[in-house]
């Protein structure tokens, strides 16, 4: 008999970046949401790098915002440095990034969550997942917290971060916990194992934090923010913010030698850690071993906030012992007399391979149970927030009995992320890059609202103010485009004139005074639409071909064992993944065009 029982429409376990976006999305759609977290003081805590965005990650943050999410507004309010990466490349590669005031960002997200109607934020430690038999399968019905407290709901979203049976490593020392100063949880892992889920083990790492007053910045290279910082949120009119500089320094052969001399004490090399870490954010000891010919590695000294001297040493994640960290850090230029305030460490944690999920992020095994964030094998605040938002929206759509929200690879980086996870699964922590997207020119960060806000509007994720803002913007883009088509210069329309590589918007304004007062965001969209119209048209033809395949749905109960001549490997993989469409089937590793053709033929025969 439970001590207390509480009833909700949606339960979200964990209030990190995935959990807060999940809870907020479900609440915006009208659901009554219970958001449960072990510690109310760490809601949306930045466990590692105090920054939002970056290459491809910045695209995801703008898509989260275009879907009504929290992350972009929070970083606009608390950022201390804003930069647009890859400016020298084409617009598809431009990616916004911002340093955050770590503490203020966490406070701002918590404030937004606390003010959201329908969200009930509770401090609880969840120890079990409750299920019940339902028709031909099992469905979730709630969770049990410590002290025998029960929370009941027809949908549950697990956003457990790095806390599932987590173990921190600093040299030979091992401490239970998913983040410095915090504990771990084993009950959820045990429940998932009991329910039949496959569980894997990943690891991640974080660098030392330093006292900025003890750094000699004269020996480092200054990295200031942009002169005209661009906001993340489409609702932020502009940024008038005093920006703080970051600083660049480098490792050197002496540092590398200290690391080599102590590899036997590094958990990754002593055998103490056997799980896989992120390929694209390796520990410094891993870098020194894998890139033995390199004489130096770039490091970024990043401030943690306006009201603290603590700085983050980006590029030097490590789990080496404390005495080795002291020695190697003080061999770096500018850090000769530095004081370490927090030592680096590695964290091992449980995750569930994401091929156990549907494209909605609902588990295949348990109806109504969703996973989002690092439990799915991803890394990064942005990837986590995106998954949380989609899981939260789909939990409510399931309750309504409506069609789910599934973003295509041609619609959003979030669509690429989730399709990669559920179709290909992961064998190392997943990080988003622009190279993962086939249709990069269409999926620019600057047009995220034009791509996904209409989809969000249909399911109730965005409010009237955001929708009116987009309608005005779309009308302005059409009006300005019409002006350029109607006016001529040098014998051609201004639209055609703008297609010339050397022609800029400033030059057009000089030829047509009516353009002087055009909104900068509108002008940017018009320029990109016109200058890249030929390339965009070509990508849209490719998208149309792919959509024809995507529209060929595969029923959930489709039996691949009944297809004659289908290879054993293909039969096994297709039965395991259970692709929702022919297009998804074709993206599964090891599935050939011939396999796809057999499935299509069988589907057509079944339809007849």
549-599 confidence digits (pLDDT tens): 767 888 888 899 888 888 888 898 899 888 988 888 888 887 877 788 888
8 Å CB contact between 52 and 117: no
Do 432 and 534 fall within a single domain? no
- 3-class secondary structure, 326: helix
Mean pLDDT of 137-148: 94
CATH of the domain at 95: 3.50.50.60
Helix (H, G, I), strand (E, B) or coil at 392: helix
pLDDT value at residue 2? 63
Q: Kindly state the helix (H) or strand (E) to which residue 123 belongs, with its residue range.
A: strand 119-123
Residues 156 and 231 both lie in one domain? no
Could you report the per-residue pLDDT of 409-424, keeping only the tens digit for each? 899 999 999 999 999 8
The rounded radius of gyration (Å) of the Cα atoms in the chain is: 25
Query: Is residue 1 in a domain?
Result: no
CATH number assigned to the domain comprising residue 478? 1.10.10.1800
Query: Are 342 and 357 within one domain?
Result: no
Residue 594 lies in a domain: yes
Structure tokens given for 248: 């660049």
For 360, other C-beta atoms within 10 Å of its C-beta total 20
Domain boundary, last residue among 458, 486, 520: 458
Rounded to whole angstroms, the Cα distance separating 590 from 131 reads 35
Question: What is the extent of the structural domain holding 79?
Answer: 9-205+350-458
Cα atoms found within 13 Å of the Cα of residue 315, Cβ hemisphere only: 15
CATH number at residue 331: 2.40.30.260
Q: Taking the chain, what is the end-to-end CA distance rounded to the nearest angstrom? A: 54
Distance CA 520, CA 536 (A): 22
C-alpha–C-alpha distance, residues 10 and 418, integer Å: 21
Q: What is Dmax (Cα atoms) for the chain?
A: 84
Q: Give a yes or no: residue 546 inside a domain.
A: no
Residues in CB range of 181: below 8 A, 6 or more apart: none
Given the structure tokens 């599935």, which residue do they identify? 591
Convert the pLDDT of each residue in 429-470 to its tens digit: 999 988 888 888 999 999 999 999 999 999 999 999 999 999
Residue 4 placed within a domain: no
Report the alpha-carbon distance of residue 408 to residue 510 in Å, rounded: 41
Tell whether 438 and 373 lie within a shared domain: yes
- Alpha-helical (H) ranges within 9-166 are 17-28, 57-66, 71-78, 102-115
368 and 343, same structural domain? Answer: no
CA 249 to chain centre: 28
**Domains held by the chain: number:** 4
Rounded CA separation 251/207 (Å): 14
- Say whether pLDDT at 270 is over 90: no
- Displacement of CA 150 from its chain's centroid (Å): 31
Question: Which distant-in-sequence residues (6+ apart) come within 8 Å of 237 by Cβ?
Answer: 231
Residues 175 and 271 occupy one common structural domain:
no
Residue 475 lies in a domain: yes
Using DSSP's 3-state secondary structure scheme, residue 160 falls into: coil
Average pLDDT over residues 400-413: 95
pLDDT digits (tens, 9 = 90+) for 23-76: 999 999 999 999 999 999 999 999 999 999 999 999 999 999 999 999 999 999
**Same domain (yes/no): 237, 154:** no
Given 510, 539, 568, which residue is the final one in a domain?
A: 539
Whole-angstrom distance, CA of residue 300 vs CA of residue 316 = 9
* Position 269 confidence tier, pLDDT thresholds 50, 70, 90: confident
Sorting pLDDT into bands at 50, 70 and 90, what band is 183? confident
125 found inside a domain: yes
Nearest to 195 by CA among 32, 338, 365: 365
CA 117: distance to chain centroid?
25
- H or E segment and range at residue 452: helix 448-459
Cβ(215)–Cβ(335) below 8 Å: yes
Residues 494 and 555 in one domain: no
320/454 same-domain check: no
In a domain, 578, yes or no: yes
Whether residue 494 is predicted with pLDDT greater than 60 in this model: the reply is yes
Do residues 33 and 161 share a domain? yes
Residue 186 in domain: yes
Which whole number is the average pLDDT over 471-475? 97
Q: Are 384 and 391 in contact (CB under 8 A)?
A: no
Task: Give the end of a domain, one of 324, 347, 370.
Answer: 347
Please choose, from the candidates 129, 159, 132, the residue with its C-alpha nearest in 3D space to the C-alpha of residue 145. Answer: 129
Sheet holding 95-100, edge to edge: 51-53, 95-100, 79-85
Could you tell me if 336 and 447 lie in one domain? no
Q: Are residues 167 and 185 in the same domain?
A: yes
CA–CA gap between residue 471 and residue 486 (Å, rounded): 23
* 383 within 8 A of 412, measured Cβ to Cβ: no
DSSP per residue over 67-92, as a string? Answer: TT-SHHHHHHHHEEEEEEETTTS-GG
pLDDT (mean) for 360-375? 97
Phi first, then psi, for residue 192 (nearest 5°) are: -65, -40
The closest of 63, 48, 109 to 405, measured between CA atoms, is 63
pLDDT at 592: 79
Q: What is the DSSP letter of 553?
A: B
């Amino acid at each position: 008999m439970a001590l207390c029982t509480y009833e909700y429409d949606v339960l979200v376990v964990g209030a990190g970046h995935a959990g807060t976006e999940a809870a907020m999305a479900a609440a915006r759609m009208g659901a009554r949401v219970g958001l449960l977290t072990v510690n109310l003081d760490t809601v949306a805590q930045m466990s590692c790098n105090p920054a939002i965005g970056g290459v491809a990650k910045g695209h995801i943050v703008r898509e989260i915002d275009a879907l009504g999410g929290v992350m972009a507004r929070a970083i606009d309010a608390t950022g201390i440095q804003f930069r647009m990466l890859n400016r020298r490349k084409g617009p598809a590669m431009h990616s916004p990034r911002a340093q955050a005031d770590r503490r203020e960002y966490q406070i701002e997200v918590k404030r937004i969550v606390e003010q959201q109607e329908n969200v009930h934020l509770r401090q609880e430690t969840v120890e079990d997942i409750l299920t019940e038999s339902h028709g031909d399968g099992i469905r979730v019905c709630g969770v049990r917290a410590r002290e025998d407290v029960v929370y009941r709901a027809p949908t549950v979203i697990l956003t457990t971060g790095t806390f599932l049976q987590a173990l921190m490593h600093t040299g030979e020392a091992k401490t239970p916990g998913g983040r410095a100063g915090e504990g771990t949880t084993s009950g959820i892992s045990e429940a998932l194992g009991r329910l039949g889920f496959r569980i894997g083990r990943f690891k991640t790492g974080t660098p030392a934090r330093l006292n900025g007053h003890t750094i000699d910045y004269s020996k480092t290279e200054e990295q200031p923010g942009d002169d005209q910082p661009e906001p993340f949120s489409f609702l932020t009119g502009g940024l008038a913010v005093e920006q703080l500089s970051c600083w660049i320094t480098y490792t050197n052969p002496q540092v590398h030698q200290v690391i080599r001399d102590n590899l036997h004490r590094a958990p990754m090399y002593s055998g103490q850690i056997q799980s896989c870490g992120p390929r694209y954010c390796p520990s410094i000891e891993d870098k020194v071993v894998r890139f033995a010919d390199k004489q130096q590695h770039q490091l970024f000294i990043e401030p943690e906030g306006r009201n603290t001297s603590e700085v983050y040493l980006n590029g030097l994640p490590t789990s080496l012992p404390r005495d080795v960290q002291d020695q190697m850090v003080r061999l770096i230029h500018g850090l000769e007399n530095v004081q370490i305030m927090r030592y680096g460490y590695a964290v091992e944690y449980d995750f569930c391979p994401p091929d156990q999920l549907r494209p909605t992020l609902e588990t295949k095994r348990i109806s109504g149970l969703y996973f989002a964030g690092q439990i799915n094998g991803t890394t990064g605040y942005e990837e986590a927030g995106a998954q949380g938002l989609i899981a939260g929206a789909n939990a409510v759509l399931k309750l309504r009995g409506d069609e789910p929200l599934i973003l295509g690879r041609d619609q959003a980086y979030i669509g690429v992320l989730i399709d990669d996870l559920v179709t290909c699964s992961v064998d190392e922590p997943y990080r988003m890059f622009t190279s993962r997207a086939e249709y990069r020119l269409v999926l620019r960060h600057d047009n995220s609202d034009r791509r996904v806000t209409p989809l969000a509007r249909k399911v109730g994720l965005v409010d009237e103010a955001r929708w009116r803002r987009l309608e005005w913007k779309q009308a302005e883009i059409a009006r300005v485009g019409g002006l350029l088509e109607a006016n001529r210069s040098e014998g051609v329309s201004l639209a055609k004139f703008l297609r010339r590589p050397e022609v800029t918007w400033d030059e057009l304004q000089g030829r047509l005074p009516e353009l002087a007062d055009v909104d900068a965001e509108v002008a940017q969209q018009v320029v990109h639409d016109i200058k890249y119209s030929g390339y965009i048209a070509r990508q849209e033809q490719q998208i149309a071909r792919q959509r024809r395949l995507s529209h060929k749905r595969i029923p959930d109960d489709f039996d691949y064992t009944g297809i004659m001549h289908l290879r054993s490997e293909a039969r096994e993989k297709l039965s395991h993944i259970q692709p929702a469409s022919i297009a998804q089937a074709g993206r599964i590793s090891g599935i050939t065009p011939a396999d796809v053709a057999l499935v299509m033929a069988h589907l057509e025969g079944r339809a007849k």
